[in-house]
């Protein structure tokens, strides 16, 4: 056999990978070195190969695809490890020590209530557990976690898959943060008797600690010296990737309130990157134009993967910011230097490609929150002018009416499935935004005829949504439920019951139901709160900071 050629008598694994096999028996050395499962040479072949009429049929099976993916991930992991080996050898002892300090050996972390992970997912997981734990968890993230988190993000091509995997493998801290989410997911599925537990395990905590240590290193380097604005944004993007991944773990593991630390850090970082300039690196024209390095980077298409990564993480962080502020109010201690609302109106940040709702509707929700902030400041100084409040609300209400009408009249005949589903999600958010604005201007009187009409109409649309989309409209679901009259309570409860009965993932919708149940309880037990009881009062009464994403 000539050097570099592939033999038809090689092991099944090497033939599937289209690689040369050394034909050692009983297992080839190539597979052993790469920690791949060697399927051998002769009969009997693996069960999943049997019954196939040709080698071509074998090559297109899911098992063959998984085997090639494992090998690819292993290769990139080895390359990443080789690049960082000296660093790891020098810092391995200290990293281990820091990890020990951040975790308590032998004790499981607290496990708050959670039913994000449904037991039905167990049947979808890979049958053959890869021998390398990192590879297994990385595959879990690529094939299951990411699609669940970001159901509307395009990941249908090999290029999409490569973009995500390359981003993970090029940033060690982000890599371990992502795998901590996979480990959390995995722990929940492997403990069916604790299906309502969070899934935090020692491995999750340790990977989280490694990610936190790596994040500290990147931040320290970022703070060591002032960089040129472009370099500063690129380094800031590495920080943002890790912060967003850690934020993702907190959100997915249902840690009420714990997500806020990471979220506030991401918003502070965006403010920093927005104003990041050094006098010696900016010419007078740039300074005069008050250019923002962050805005310039978002418009820079010279490096498609880098630009895509930045836009993805910035959009995700802004999505969380809009929902958090609309639920709890804007935090007064974090000034918003990076005004993302114009970017949303211009569709420069495409939230519909992340969570389904079009950016223009998300911009309107953010503007309503700004109106809430203004109203709060006026009430604080006892200078609220109700006419001015109504005047500020009128153009917002008009935009929402136009958006709802446009969405309702859109034809779905030429839409893809994702576009049709995004339309439904956007319509649900737009209708909930109308309720949000009404409460801001007129109060939370559930007997108000206009509010009754809007909630009833929106509930009908909620009930008509495919089960898989209810998880994508949790904020809208909760806002509407909190403003529902008594006759509608059971219908809101029925939505969750129906989804649970069909073994569909509930996401955070069940916690949205907890918020509205508390709102209903407060109205019944304290009649004087009837016109002032909304989702904010309910979350405050519960003593929780539930993020309604």
CB-count burial class (<10 Å; 0-12, 13-18, 19+) for 297: buried
pLDDT computed for residue 108 by the predictor: 31
What confidence tier does 196 reach under pLDDT thresholds 50, 70, 90? very low
Number of helices followed by number of strands (H, E) in the chain = 25, 0
232/534: higher pLDDT: 534
> What residues have CB less than 8 Å from 417, skipping those under 6 apart?
none
Q: Is the pLDDT of residue 511 over 60?
A: yes
- pLDDT-based confidence at 74, cuts 50/70/90? low
Average pLDDT over residues 222-238: 79
CB 250 within 8 A of CB 258: yes
Going from the C-alpha of 461 to that of each of 360, 424, 428, 475, the distances in angstroms are 20, 9, 7, 15
How far is residue 213 from each of residues 218, 235, 378, measured CA to CA in Å?
9, 16, 43
Identify the pLDDT of residue 156. Answer: 81
pLDDT tens string 375-418? 999 998 899 999 999 999 999 999 999 999 999 999 989 999 99
- 124-128, 166-170, 417-421: least confidently modelled range: 124-128
Give me the domains of the chain, ranges plus CATH numbers: 12-76 (4.10.240)
Read off the pLDDT of residues 81-119 as tens digits, 9 standing for 90 and up. 444 433 333 333 333 333 333 232 233 333 223 333 333
Question: How far are the Cα atoms of 62, 131, 201, 402 from residue 65, in angstroms, in the given order?
Answer: 5, 16, 30, 47
Contact at 8 Å (CB) between 230 and 276?
no
* pLDDT at residue number 5: 44
Burial pattern 333-366, b for ≥16 Cβ within 10 A else e, equals eeebebebbebbbeebbbbbbbbbbbbbbbbbbb
Q: Give the angle 257-260-263 at the CA atoms, nearest 5°.
A: 155
Determine how many CB atoms are found less than 10 A away from the CB of residue 25.
10
Q: Is 311 helix (H, G, I), strand (E, B) or coil?
A: helix
Alpha helices in 122-171 (DSSP H): 133-140, 146-149, 158-169
Average pLDDT, the chain: 80
Cα–Cα distance measured from residue 15 to residue 11, given in angstroms and rounded to the nearest whole number: 6
**For position 454, what pLDDT does the model report?**
96
Q: Each residue of 164-189: pLDDT tens digit?
A: 888 888 888 999 999 988 888 887 76
Q: Rounded CA gap, 204 and 248, in Å?
A: 13
Sheet strands (E) in 443-507: none
- Pair 67, 132: CB distance under 8 Å: no
Residues 6+ apart with CB under 8 A from 404: 427, 430, 431, 434
């Amino acid at each position: 056999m000539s050097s570099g050629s592939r033999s038809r008598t090689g092991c099944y694994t090497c033939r599937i990978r289209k690689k040369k096999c050394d034909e050692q028996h009983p297992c080839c050395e190539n597979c052993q070195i790469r920690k791949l499962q060697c399927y051998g040479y002769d009969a009997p072949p693996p069960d999943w190969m049997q019954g196939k009429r040709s080698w071509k049929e074998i090559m297109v099976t899911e098992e063959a695809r998984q085997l090639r993916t494992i090998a690819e991930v292993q290769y990139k992991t080895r390359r990443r490890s080789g690049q960082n080996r000296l660093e790891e050898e020098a810092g391995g002892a200290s990293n281990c020590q820091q990890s020990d300090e951040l975790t308590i050996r032998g004790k499981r972390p607290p496990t708050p209530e959670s039913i994000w992970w449904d037991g039905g997912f167990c049947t979808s997981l890979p049958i053959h557990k890869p021998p390398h734990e990192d590879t297994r968890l990385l595959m879990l993230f690529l094939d299951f976690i990411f699609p669940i988190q970001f159901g509307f993000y395009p990941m249908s091509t090999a290029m999409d898959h490569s973009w995500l995997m390359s981003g993970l493998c090029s940033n060690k801290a982000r890599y371990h943060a992502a795998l901590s989410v996979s480990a959390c997911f995995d722990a929940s599925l492997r403990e069916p008797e604790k299906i309502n537990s969070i899934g935090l395990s020692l491995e999750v905590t340790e990977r989280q600690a490694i990610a936190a240590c790596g994040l500290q290193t990147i931040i320290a380097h970022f703070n060591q010296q002032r960089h040129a604005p472009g370099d500063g944004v690129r380094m800031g993007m590495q920080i943002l990737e890790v912060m967003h991944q850690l934020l993702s773990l907190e959100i997915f593991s249902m840690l009420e309130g714990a997500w806020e630390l990471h979220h506030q850090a991401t918003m502070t970082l965006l403010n920093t990157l927005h104003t990041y300039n050094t006098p010696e690196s900016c010419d007078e024209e740039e300074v005069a134009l008050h250019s923002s390095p962050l805005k310039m980077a978002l418009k820079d298409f010279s490096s498609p993967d880098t630009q895509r990564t930045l836009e993805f993480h910035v959009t995700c962080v802004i999505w969380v910011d809009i929902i958090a502020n609309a639920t709890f109010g804007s935090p007064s201690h974090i000034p918003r230097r990076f005004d993302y609302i114009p970017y949303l109106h211009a569709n420069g940040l495409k939230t519909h490609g992340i969570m389904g709702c079009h950016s223009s509707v998300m911009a309107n929700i953010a503007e309503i929150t700004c109106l809430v902030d203004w109203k709060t400041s006026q009430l604080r100084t006892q200078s609220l002018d109700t006419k001015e409040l109504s005047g500020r609300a009128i153009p917002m209400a008009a935009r929402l009416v136009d958006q709802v009408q446009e969405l309702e009249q859109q034809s779905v005949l030429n839409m893809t499935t994702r576009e049709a589903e995004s339309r439904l999600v956007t319509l649900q958010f737009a209708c909930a935004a109308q309720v949000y604005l009404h409460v801001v201007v007129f109060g939370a009187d559930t007997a108000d005829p206009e509010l009754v009409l809007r909630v009833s109409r929106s509930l009908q649309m909620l009930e008509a949504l495919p089960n898989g989309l209810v998880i994508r409209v949790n904020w809208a679901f909760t806002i509407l439920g909190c403003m529902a009259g008594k006759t509608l309570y059971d219908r809101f409860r029925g939505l969750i019951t129906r989804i649970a009965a069909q073994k569909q993932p509930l996401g955070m919708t069940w916690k949205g139901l907890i918020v509205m149940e508390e709102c209903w309880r407060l109205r019944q037990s304290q009649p004087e709160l009837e016109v002032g009881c909304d989702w904010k009062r309910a979350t405050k009464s519960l003593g929780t900071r539930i993020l309604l994403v």
